[in-house]
Structure 1
Amino acid sequence: MATYSYFWRVPRSEIFLQASLRQILTLEPWYHYIINILKKKTRGLNTVKQDRNVKKENWKKKPAAGKQGRSLDDKFEEWVGEETGKKAGKSSEQKTDQKEAWSRARKKDGKNTDQKSARDFACGKVEKFGKADGKSAQKSFGKSARKDTMNFGKKSEPKHGLGASPKSGKLQSAAEEKKAPKKKGLCPVAHRCGGCQYLDMPYAEQLQMKQSQMQKLLGNYCKVHGIKGMDDPFHYRNKVHAVFGYRKGEAISGVYEEKTHNIVPVETCMIEDQKADEIIGTIRGMLKSFKIRTYDEDTGYGLLRHVLVRRGFTSGQIMVVLVTASPVFPSKNNFVKALRQKHPEITTIVQNINNRGTSMVLGDKEHVLYGKGYIEDELCGCKFRISPKSFYQVNPVQTEYLYGKAIELAGLTGNERVLDAYCGIGTIGIIAASKAKEVIGVELNADAVRDAVQNAKCNDVKNIRFYCNDATEFMMQMAASGDTVDVVLMDPPRAGSTEAFIKAVAAVKAKTVIYVSCGPDTLARDLGVFKKIGYQPEGVWPVDMFPQTGHVETVVLLSHKKADSYIHIDVEFGEGEGKIPVDSIAKRAEAYKPKEKVTYKMIKEYIEAKYGFKVHTAYIAEVKRNLGLPMYDAPNAVEELKQPRKHPTPEKVEAIKDALRYFAVI
């Protein structure tokens, strides 16, 4: 009963400030929601109360004389006494004098308007400019007071540092620092976003820096060709993602601050599609009128989490994905209708449900609210279907060059069997199919595989097959079955490929490998593995797929090594002059047959069969050590040293020596 009485003390308005009645009744159990509000309110009140108590105790606390000087109370009362000619006290006359002193203190500090600020102004600055000696304090008012400085004790000269003028060594006020001119960049939130590391760097310098980085990282493997830049390195991203939140009573949208989950509000972005930014801004403005609450990661309440916008480069089609924490979307039909009225260019709208407490943007379930649920675009003369979860390069201009270079380096003549690993929606494989005999695509994402199958049908490509499987497992299965391919096209994620996959490439006898990489570090790692198994990098072609950022896309051509020279020998077997008898070859082969490796297990089995007793491995190791034999075969050598060594009996020593003679070890 006590719990309910506490509950009803909470004003009803307090509850409805947090969420609308519709959200309380439809999205989450109302009692959990109320309990959470009460906890937050109680915790907040306790925190405020504790802070006030701490401040009160700290203000009352006076330092011991001779150590830290007098308290600010003493200094302030002395200052009030000098200003009014009377010592500060509690009588009405003295209180009036104190108020006048407060007023003068406030006038000297134009920004302070309350008594606490005036007191800080009158006494707080004493602490910044030296310590009182505990006996006497000199105070200067007048000109120095007009300059907002009050000195007690010894005169202190501040050292040059943060907030100080480098020439005069004087501290600059906060107002002067704010007035100081600051260099303006192209984006006001670039330092917080962290997405565009090179935004304020001239584009020519960006390309030069990336070229030198690729040369330093990959130059030891092969030649690094000149990087392919863009004519217009802005607003190239055709995929835009915005995270939504709530701040100061208003919905906000933007990006996560670098290495945090703090939302940085963003209206427009220098590398994102401008129409996509405009649509996101429209959605943000509609939330209040439709009473849609944004999702709160801390409490787990709210509806809208993210908005994803994808735009076709050649088709101009636009897909909007609304990521919600619940499948219940109040007034979704009216919301979609209003959004389409403001942006009739939208082709399809999809609701994606993500109720997991993870960093993943998209969930598993989707509902098509308008249109087909996907858009189509054209790349290298082929049409491709793009769904919300499909991987599709975000820079279509550079992608045209990237894939064109990959197909060119593959050197297809129409007779090759090609494997497209990590194929996504089948872009590279479908483009290569017209120049190859057969193409096999493998992709782990089931949605992407479905799109790939549809893309092949849409482009009337019949010599390609797609498999939904892990690329490494698929390659290992091909190698185990003895299957072969001529060319491997691989475009792995930023984490790179696996050693097992690379070794399987050699097992399927691929002559050429085209490695498309978005991670130069992992590319360098994988090239080292390729070289070990006989593949030589022939060249690296960098592509600036992501201008204004530190990322670089690369295409690498690898060819299987061939012998530098050949020696031709004709040998005839049989009986007669000039021929080598087969029997003599067999005898020589038997004579030069390598000896079987003698193991400890073989020695122990021989002794037990001949002498009828067992010997420990440590005994065999000791006999071998005494005979000066190599000890690399002793499995218990380390364990022997950790324990007191046991010595074999003379009988067992002779048995071990007999076994070593039998196996021709001695």
Structure 2
Amino acid sequence: MIEQGKEYEITIEDMSHEGQGIGRIEGLAVFVDGAVVGDVVKAELTKLKKSYAFGRLTEILTPSEYRVSAACEYFGSCGGCSLQSMSYEGQLKLKQKLVKDKLTRIGGLENPLVRDTIGMDVPENYRNKAQFPVGMRQRGTQLGNISGKQTGKYTEKHAGKHVGKNLAKGMTGEAAVGFYQAKSHQIINCETCMIQSAPAEKIAQALREYMKSDHIPAYDEKTGKGLIRHLIVKTAFGTGEVMAILVINGKGMPNGEKLVLMMDDAINELPPDPQTGIEYSLESVVLNINKKNTSEIMGSECVTLAGKPNILEEAGGLSFEISPMSFYQINPVQMVKLYDKALEYAALTGAETVLDLYCGVGTIGLYCASKAKKVIGIESVKAAVLDANRNAVINGIVNAEYICGKAEEELPRLLKEGVQADVVILDPPRAGCDPALLDAVAQVCPKRIVYVSCDPATLARDVKILGELGYGFVEAQPVDMFPHTGHVETVIKMRKCGLGEER
């Protein structure tokens, strides 16, 4: 009989996307933090459920061939990079297996063709977007948000006196700018991060120093008080342009000019990128206003504090304007590999009409435009559609147009207008496609569907639905957009059943 609190020997056979090792005791799945595929471990069962259990790693009896020492000093505290104790070769194999398993179990496919995961040559400092929660450090710890009562408005004149009493109540006056601890909203003050860009680290440190020197309080999600909630840094790797976004619980930033100068000085201290030689420059500082007492990171209003309202990125021979609210793939090096594969799967000859659904700022569609007769993108976020049309103009692309609306509503209208599509590209958020959208896609009757997904589970679910609607799975290509984490991007090719097309 399996008992909670008892120690068991477990062979780790799989891993969850959160980085937990998965083994079995008498058929019962056990999730073990800190274990790696191939490990043989001892683990104490800390929680026992009917169909699964959680275990605490007590001893590694036989280490996996893929086990390595984590390179980051914050590993085990910070909730990111859950696969750092696994070699990069092992990570790539794990992600291929993850995609294949989901397509088999959820998608109902028998032995689906899943290619080897496309990895990075240098899987470090790859993120062009850093999203730091901000809190105040308590004495003797790296964790915590400010918890004292705060009143009044945060103005340049009065900001200091509103926080003095709070700092006397056990706060150090030093900001914690970093990432959440695993399964928690406690903030780890990460001064370095092996997957973030150098400008992100520099701007985060400038913010810590500014908040300390000017006694600026961080937002406390428990009380709804405090000013600074998040820092978001976007880095254009192709041009070196940098944007800093301060999400605040107020209307303005006390002594904002000082903060801008501190950030600018920090960026100017950076040497050129060692791989590309590109020099970094701070081009945009934006305030995002979010006064809601919710877990939503950004509000709807953006105010440019200094510089431009957007930055310019270059990738794959194209230029893209990146605004504070717009979505853009976070790994530009791997993005080009991903889009090259999507373009290969689309098999364009120059005579096709391509529908780019969930198109965002239009990156994939614009990447395909030179090979297609026409590209029509549909996106429900108005700001993203404006960016997409602007990006088409910037690149001199005249055969692409972008429509604001829900694809499941816009597609029937386009059909009535006589629009036909040869290829449909789907790039939905993590939740996958709306079933009504998949029905609408089937009504368009494209020859090929190219589906880009950041979640293998919802991808597999939608593959099954598309199969029922007359589309056959051809192959999948995982691309490692997120090294050292359990996440993987996948692009798949599907074709209309009965066309007899070869792989």
Query: Fold conserved (TM > 0.5)?
Result: yes
For 2:292 and 2:209, the matched residues in 1 are separated by 26
> What's the offset of the Cα at 1:327?
0.6
What residue ranges of structure 2 are gaps of 5+ in the alignment? 1-42, 45-67, 139-171, 269-280
> What's the offset of the Cα at 1:257?
2.1
For 2:200 and 2:194, the matched residues in 1 are separated by 12
Larger radius of gyration: 1
1:296–1:210 Cα change, 3 Å? same
In structure 2, the residue matched to 1:207 is 92
> What's the offset of the Cα at 1:520?
0.4
In structure 2, the residue matched to 1:303 is 227
> What's the offset of the Cα at 1:510?
1.0
Q: Indicate conservation of the 8 Å contact 1:479/1:504, yes or no.
A: no
For 1:507 and 1:534, the matched residues in 2 are separated by 10
Counterpart amino acid of residue 193 in structure 2: C
In structure 2, the residue matched to 1:451 is 387
SS in 2 for 1:441: strand
In structure 2, the residue matched to 1:10 is none
Q: Could you tell me which of 98, 103, 109 is aligned with 1:218?
A: 103
1:484–1:536 Cα change, 3 Å? same
Whether 1:418 aligns to 2:354 is yes
In structure 1, the residue matched to 2:194 is 270
Q: Indicate conservation of the 8 Å contact 1:238/1:394, yes or no.
A: yes
Q: Indicate conservation of the 8 Å contact 2:252/2:287, yes or no.
A: no
> What's the offset of the Cα at 1:333?
2.3
Counterpart amino acid of residue 238 in structure 1: N
In structure 1, the residue matched to 2:38 is none
1:299–1:435 Cα change, 3 Å? same
In structure 1, the residue matched to 2:334 is 398
Whether 1:460 aligns to 2:350 is no
Q: Could you tell me which of 325, 328, 336 is aligned with 2:249?
A: 325
Tell me: higher relative CO, structure 1 or 2? Use CA pairs within 8 A at least 6 residues apart. Answer: 2
For 1:215 and 1:298, the matched residues in 2 are separated by 42
In structure 1, the residue matched to 2:137 is 247
For 2:182 and 2:407, the matched residues in 1 are separated by 32
Q: Which moved more, 1:418-427 or 1:439-448?
A: 439-448
In structure 2, the residue matched to 1:582 is none
For 1:522 and 1:454, the matched residues in 2 are separated by 31
Counterpart amino acid of residue 185 in structure 1: A
> What's the offset of the Cα at 1:389?
0.8
SS in 1 for 2:178: strand
In structure 2, the residue matched to 1:552 is 488
In structure 1, the residue matched to 2:75 is 190
For 2:441 and 2:74, the matched residues in 1 are separated by 45
SS in 1 for 2:212: coil
In structure 1, the residue matched to 2:19 is none
Q: Indicate conservation of the 8 Å contact 2:449/2:493, yes or no.
A: yes
Q: Could you tell me which of 513, 528, 534 is aligned with 2:449?
A: 513
> What's the offset of the Cα at 1:404?
0.9
> What's the offset of the Cα at 1:211?
1.8
Q: Indicate conservation of the 8 Å contact 2:199/2:267, yes or no.
A: no
Counterpart amino acid of residue 254 in structure 1: G
Q: Deviations over 1:13-55 (max 9, x none)?
A: xxxxxxxxxxxxxxxxxxxxxxxxxxxxxxxxxxxxxxxxxxx
In structure 1, the residue matched to 2:205 is 281
1:342–1:379 Cα change, 3 Å? closer
> What's the offset of the Cα at 1:400?
0.4
> What's the offset of the Cα at 1:482?
5.7
1:342–1:205 Cα change, 3 Å? closer
Counterpart amino acid of residue 465 in structure 1: E
Q: Indicate conservation of the 8 Å contact 1:290/1:335, yes or no.
A: no
For 2:418 and 2:400, the matched residues in 1 are separated by 20
Whether 1:472 aligns to 2:408 is yes
In structure 2, the residue matched to 1:109 is none
Q: Deviations over 1:308-344 (max 9, x none)?
A: 1011111011101111100132222233233323434
Q: Which moved more, 1:293-302 or 1:488-497?
A: 293-302
Q: Deviations over 1:604-652 (max 9, x none)?
A: xxxxxxxxxxxxxxxxxxxxxxxxxxxxxxxxxxxxxxxxxxxxxxxxx
In structure 1, the residue matched to 2:297 is 361
Q: Indicate conservation of the 8 Å contact 2:202/2:263, yes or no.
A: no
Q: Indicate conservation of the 8 Å contact 1:349/1:370, yes or no.
A: yes
Counterpart amino acid of residue 479 in structure 2: V
> What's the offset of the Cα at 1:195?
1.8
For 1:417 and 1:354, the matched residues in 2 are separated by 40
In structure 1, the residue matched to 2:311 is 375
Counterpart amino acid of residue 459 in structure 2: L
Counterpart amino acid of residue 211 in structure 1: Q
The percent of aligned pairs where both chains have the same amino acid is 43
Counterpart amino acid of residue 455 in structure 1: N
SS in 2 for 1:193: coil
Q: Indicate conservation of the 8 Å contact 2:357/2:378, yes or no.
A: yes
> What's the offset of the Cα at 1:505?
1.2
Q: Indicate conservation of the 8 Å contact 1:478/1:508, yes or no.
A: no
> What's the offset of the Cα at 1:503?
1.6
Q: Could you tell me which of 247, 256, 260 is aligned with 2:180?
A: 256
For 2:291 and 2:453, the matched residues in 1 are separated by 33
SS in 2 for 1:478: helix
> What's the offset of the Cα at 1:563?
6.6
> What's the offset of the Cα at 1:188?
3.4
SS in 2 for 1:192: coil
For 1:321 and 1:354, the matched residues in 2 are separated by 12
Q: Deviations over 1:445-480 (max 9, x none)?
A: 211111111111100111111111122222344356
Q: Indicate conservation of the 8 Å contact 1:413/1:435, yes or no.
A: yes
For 2:301 and 2:236, the matched residues in 1 are separated by 23
1:190–1:387 Cα change, 3 Å? same
Counterpart amino acid of residue 218 in structure 1: L
Q: Aligned residue pairs: how many? A: 384
For residues 598-613 of structure 1, what are the structure 2 equivalents within 5 Å?
A: none
Q: Indicate conservation of the 8 Å contact 1:233/1:547, yes or no.
A: yes
For 1:197 and 1:299, the matched residues in 2 are separated by 31
Higher helix share: 1
For residues 151-166 of structure 1, what are the structure 2 equivalents within 5 Å?
A: none
In structure 2, the residue matched to 1:53 is none
For 1:488 and 1:184, the matched residues in 2 are separated by 43
Q: Which moved more, 1:436-445 or 1:186-195?
A: 186-195
In structure 2, the residue matched to 1:174 is none
In structure 1, the residue matched to 2:273 is none
SS in 2 for 1:213: helix
For 2:335 and 2:72, the matched residues in 1 are separated by 26
SS in 2 for 1:343: helix
Counterpart amino acid of residue 189 in structure 1: Y
> What's the offset of the Cα at 1:235?
1.3
For 1:527 and 1:541, the matched residues in 2 are separated by 14
> What's the offset of the Cα at 1:377?
0.8
> What's the offset of the Cα at 1:391?
0.5
1:342–1:546 Cα change, 3 Å? closer
In structure 1, the residue matched to 2:378 is 442
For 2:495 and 2:312, the matched residues in 1 are separated by 35
For 2:263 and 2:93, the matched residues in 1 are separated by 44
What residue ranges of structure 1 are gaps of 5+ in the alignment? 1-160, 163-182, 565-666
For 2:95 and 2:404, the matched residues in 1 are separated by 35
For 2:442 and 2:224, the matched residues in 1 are separated by 50
In structure 1, the residue matched to 2:475 is 539
Counterpart amino acid of residue 330 in structure 1: P
